[in-house]
Amino acid sequence: MSDYLIAPSILAANFARLGEEVDAVLAAGADMVHFDVMDNHYVPNLTVGPMVCQALRDHGVTAPIDVHLMVQPVDALIEMFAKAGATYITFHPDASHHVDRSIQLIRDLGCKPGLVFNPAESLGAPDYTIQNIDMVLLMSVNPGFGGQAFIPSTLDKLKAARDTDRCLGRDIRLEVDGGVGPDNIADVALQARIPLSRALRFSRRRITKPWSIKCALIWRPSPRRGHYRHSSRFSARQTEGFNRIPVSRTVLADAETPLSAYAKWLRPAILSLRICRGR
């Protein structure tokens, strides 16, 4: 598993130029393409369907496609997105009448299954269910709308998910979705402990310079002077660990920043991460 993956959401794209903009971010260094699929039933908004996924495949996109289903029911769309070329398919357990059957359906169709947990939900899936998935997505905001503040209790849930992953001996990707930026990315990284494969989703609109991705792991914004200061929460040994970034993770883009703007800073951001990891 690679050290990190970057998967911008197509909701940030100009849909009149979707193929062109997806090509641009992939050329800039993105690893995956993320779909936020909303049905105006499970969540209030209405977004995209499998035809868009198929259109990108027909356009020539070969990168993995990560589909987050915020729909109810899920099985019909699972099959349609799998046939349209999805790689990862994640869904909310309460949106399926038979969670294990939905997981097996995803795997039988050749995709990698995952479960999504809303902020008010506990990690209630039994171990034998977790053993059958490849990704756990933890919502750190309520699904359906962007621009929300990070819900701090997600950190406790992240720790619980990490401990479950460790006990089961799995290498499950852990996603934290919503409200994660330079001011709290260090807390998320510390809680993750950085020994396992995990995914991190953060809001790019709050990152003004490429190197702030790296700095945010070690430094905190100073409210008085408007610059980064060293976080006393972390020891020298811990910050050295952050510097190296040995963790597998997925960095997923926020859906509010245009993909065209994303492509302009993505390449130096990746370079910054690689330099940081190589120290």
Phi, psi of 222, rounded to the nearest 5 degrees: -90, 115
Active-site annotation holds for 39: no
* Contact indicator for 113, 106 with CB cutoff of 8 Å: yes
Cα 216 to Cα 34, 42, 106: the distances in Å are 24, 34, 36
**By the 8 A CB rule, do 189 and 242 touch?**
yes
Q: Rounded to an integer, what distance in angstroms lies between the CA atom of residue 232 and that of residue 195? A: 22
Q: Give, for 277, the enclosing helix (H) or strand (E).
A: helix 259-278
User: Is 177 among the residues known to form the active site?
Assistant: yes
Residue 119: phi and psi, rounded to 5, are -55, -35
Give me the catalytic one of 39, 66, 134, 177. Answer: 177
How far is 121 from 123, CA to CA, in rounded Å? 7
Q: What is the DSSP letter of 119?
A: T
| Distance, CA of 268 to CA of 83 (rounded, Å) | 35
SS3 content of the chain, % helix, strand, coil (to 5): 40, 20, 40
The active-site residue, picked from 36, 39, 165, 187, is: 36
By annotation, the residues acting in catalysis are 36, 177
